[in-house]
Amino acid sequence: MQKLFDEVNSLDIRCYEKFFLNEDILMEHAANGIAAYIRKKFPLKFKILIVCGSGNNGADGIASARLLHKDYDTTLLYIKNPKSKMALLQEKRANAIEVKTSKEIIECDVVVDAIVGTGFKGEFDSNIQNTIKKMNSLNAFKIACDVPSLGFVADTTLTMGALKKSMFLDKAKDFMGDIELVNLGLPREIYEGKTNWNLLDSDDLKLPYRDKKNSHKGDFGHLAIASGTKSGASILSAISAFRFGAGLVTLVGLNNLMIPHSIMHSNHIPSNASALALGMGLGDAFSEKELKDFLDNDLALICDADIFAMPIITTLLKRERVVLTPHPKEFTILLKQTKIADISVEELQMNRFKYVELFTQKYPKITLLLKGANVIIAKDEQFFINPHGTQSLAKGGSGDVLSGLVGALLAQGYSDLESAIQASLTHTQLAQNYKGTDFSLTPDDLIKEIGNL
């Protein structure tokens, strides 16, 4: 697990004031990080083009060109004249050793985007936009310095000092490439300060292995799932939960002859149920009274899909041990239902972190799992991003499998937050492990992969 920050300027200032470093020292480490990555990955004498802006992001690029000079065929392109104090200084240093410059994009083996960093606000002029288009069209390996400039599609982003939340917005996923952190002269534990936001690593996955040999099915919980008009969704959740370790799984409500033999059916919640799942394919199968009866208990609960548009959702938010798993459209409906905000999906996607924080402030006992290219999991003042999802999960039924994974863990006694985290990591790992083409993955494939984890 790694820390995430809104910005790192305050962390840099802390380095100057508390640890007696200065801007020049930090920049040399940033440049060394870029140069070291290139030296490790590419043969000497490769052609390197570094495109620089006028500020400190550009200064990082100029400094790295100086370090690569002679060992590589290095060229600087100033998309704007250096303007910041450090950019002007780095330009003098590069000129002093006669680093080559160009006024246009040239063919190269590696192109480095050092145009703007995280502090840039606004839009690019037509010259910068055209330059970025040309950079993208190059048959070259593409590196972004700190973050990709708007529109630049990086193969790798070398980010400075600490990870930034903005790098994990859904809209950024197609531009970041692989992300590597560059040390700025202090151990990471010292450079980084406190934050409530964290990035989940694959190593954070902890599967529900059965350590106790003397056990029976009742030791691993009983998940009851509401079965509605689109029963296929609840059946997928049921199979997923059973495969992920729940000792017993029962579908409650509408009967379906296609229910697998290992899944039970009942018209009522079993007396030994340890968790509930509600919403997947629910439709209008349950009357308001039947819904209230289903929820007349204090069992752990996973809510998904149709339930977010129903008035009863506001009652559910008063419970404890609840996990909500909306996709963006469903979350906008939930925000409106709870009178937090009335916004479009587009506005939500531009401000995912903001609205997740607003929701958890109002409902600190609820665990929220907001689906997307990068999944956000939150409870109270704890926030986690799972960046490991793939486009193969963009299929109907994938979310029903996730709901089953969450429900299985809730039934087995995991906390609501840990259930959401571990189910999400499992879900994305299943997609990564699938050997077929990304467009061919089905919910059944995901469930099958559970056994191969």
pLDDT for position 212: 87
Spatial distance between the Cα atoms of 349 and 276, rounded to a whole number of angstroms:
29
Question: What confidence category does residue 257 fall into, taking pLDDT thresholds of 50, 70 and 90?
Answer: low
Each residue's pLDDT tens digit, 340-375: 999 999 999 999 999 999 999 999 999 999 999 999
- Domains contained in the chain, CATH given: 2-193 (3.40.50.10260), 203-450 (3.40.1190.20)
Q: The tokens 């606004």 sit on which residue?
A: 122
Q: What is the mean pLDDT of the chain?
A: 95
Is pTM beyond 0.85? Reply is: yes
pLDDT for position 339: 96
Report the percent of the chain where pLDDT is more than 70.
100
Each residue's pLDDT tens digit, 294-328: 999 999 999 999 999 999 999 999 999 999 999 99
Joined together, the tokens standing for residue 149 give: 């400039």
Neighbour count for residue 227 (Cβ, 10 Å): 30
Q: Position 451: which residue type?
A: G
Give the dihedral sign, CA 167/329/336/200.
Answer: negative
Nearest alpha-carbon partner for 153 in 131, 132, 129: 132
pLDDT for position 258: 81
Secondary structure (DSSP) of 371-386: -SSSEEEEETTEEEEE
